[in-house]
Amino acid sequence: MTTAATMTMTKEYRSPYGVVVVDDSEIFIKGLQSLAMNENSHVQLLGWAHTPDEALKVCRRVRPQVVVVDLCLPPTSHTHRNRATMRRTAASGSGVHPTPSTHGKQLVRYTSPIYGLKLIRALCEQFSDSLRILATSSRKEDALVAQAILAGAGGFVDRDSDPDAFLDAIARVAQGEAYLDQHSRQVAEEVQRIRKHITPREKEVLRYVCMGYSNQEIAECLGIKVRTVESYVRSLCEKFGVRTRGQVSAEAWRLGICMSDGNGGVIILL
């Protein structure tokens, strides 16, 4: 397997954008390498990585303008789990997906959007405005796209897009533009609207609502009265534009406002 690396490009470009790609697929990385080598390309591939930790090291070293992040990443280079454990984890709704391992029939390498999203947040924290992030994935659920934007990505491109679309996405994100299709843009705007108006206490209540807790259980967890919880739930209904607490939960999951923490709990991403 190719290890995390940096590379120096000798070809001259008219307007090269320095790019680091983070993906656990050798084929995908080699595809972007070939794309960067095209004489008409405006992409200069500075390096690549397979895991979040490797990505942060490479970015510190080469300081790219754009980082292309596949959302479904493994946490480390050699992380494996027993298949029975993987089935239990997948059943919990954590979004963990096994991929075949070459290290034995009873072990699998696993990937999850949790790690791609954590990497995006870490890049935003460590590099501030010095780089832009383009998220990519073969999964195109509203929730995943919204979560990437909430984490700090400047755009999202389908992993199966044609080369021209990838080049256009990289260029637009490098220039500070948002790269989203019309539907994804509408979802992102809806999430941002909710994010702007929701209060810290409402986020706490929302977390428990998304976990399926009753008003009584939420009141006990937060040490407040049931009537107070009911008031928060009504406010959440108004802000989500729905009528019931069940619809609030459904919308929060659809929009990617909440996600499983992999241990039976829920994380609110607003």
CATH of the domain at 13: 3.40.50.2300
pLDDT tens digits, 139-161: 878 888 888 988 899 999 888 88
Kindly report the average pLDDT of the chain as a whole number. Answer: 81
pLDDT tens digits, 213-250: 999 999 999 999 999 999 999 999 999 999 999 999 99
Domain span at residue 127? Answer: 5-75+112-189
Residue 3 has pLDDT above 80, yes or no: no
At residue 26 the predicted structure's pLDDT band, cuts being 50, 70 and 90, is confident
Q: What is the pLDDT of residue 264?
A: 80
In a domain, 62, yes or no: yes
Going edge to edge, which strands form the sheet with 97-100? 80-82, 107-111, 97-100
- By mean pLDDT, which of 24-38, 162-176, 233-247 is the weakest? 24-38
Q: Which of 151, 126, 137 minimizes the C-alpha distance to 58?
A: 126
Residue 262 has pLDDT above 70, yes or no: yes
| 102: its two tokens | 């070459």
Half-sphere exposure (Cβ direction) of 53: Cα atoms closer than 13 Å: 7
| 107: its two tokens | 């072990």
Domain shared by 206 and 136, yes or no = no
- By mean pLDDT, which of 3-17, 31-45, 245-259 is the weakest? 3-17
Residue 4 has pLDDT above 70, yes or no: no
Q: What is the pLDDT of residue 230?
A: 97
Domain shared by 205 and 158, yes or no = no
CATH of the domain at 253: 1.10.10.10
Domain shared by 167 and 210, yes or no = no
pLDDT tens digits, 47-98: 999 999 999 999 999 999 999 999 888 887 654 444 333 333 444 444 444 4
| 224: its two tokens | 């407040």
In a domain, 103, yes or no: no
Domain shared by 234 and 133, yes or no = no
Q: How many domains does the chain have?
A: 2
Residue for token pair 């096994």: 98
Half-sphere exposure (Cβ direction) of 163: Cα atoms closer than 13 Å: 15
pLDDT tens digits, 104-138: 444 345 667 888 989 999 999 999 778 999 999 88
In a domain, 68, yes or no: yes
Query: Which residues, including other chains, have CB under 8 Å from residue 164's CB and lie 6 or more apart?
Result: none
